[in-house]
Amino acid sequence: MKPTLLPGDFVLALKVFNKVFFKNDIVIFFDDHYSHVVKKVVLIKKNHLMLKNDNINTSSVFCEKPFDKNKVKYRVLFILRVSKIKKIFVKLKFI
């Protein structure tokens, strides 16, 4: 999900109870082969979503076909960059 998410970033995500999604939502689902997968919503239909990678240099089997809305487990609400955390700790003199 580069550049939206970078290695080491933290995300705050909430479990999805209703299946209402919006374009550009970042969603998390579980796949038996890949474990937890993070993708961005680009199109919403009645029972499925179309997902995409942010990194144009990579491809994903999840982005090539409609994805069942019911498989989405979490919606990302907040992203916290590791570099920002370090700056906060330095300003607060924890480091």
Please tell me the total count of domains within the chain.
Answer: 1
pLDDT of residue 52: 95
pTM (two decimals): 0.84
- Kindly state whether residue 69 falls inside one of the protein's structural domains: yes
- Please name the residues in contact with 80: beta carbons below 8 A apart, sequence gap of 6 or more: 9, 10, 11, 12
Low-confidence residues of the chain: pLDDT under 70: 94-95
pLDDT, residue 70, reads 94
Task: Return phi, psi of residue 70, to 5°.
Answer: -70, -15
In a domain, residue 5? The reply is: no
The CA distance from 23 to 36, in Å, is: 20
What residue spans of 1-95 are helical by DSSP H? Answer: 82-91
Q: Does 3 map to a domain?
A: no
2 domain-assigned: no
User: Residue 50 belongs to what domain range?
Assistant: 10-91
Q: Give the pLDDT of residue 95.
A: 60
Total count of residues recorded for the chain: 95
Q: With beta carbons less than 8 A apart as the criterion, state whether 49 and 66 touch.
A: yes
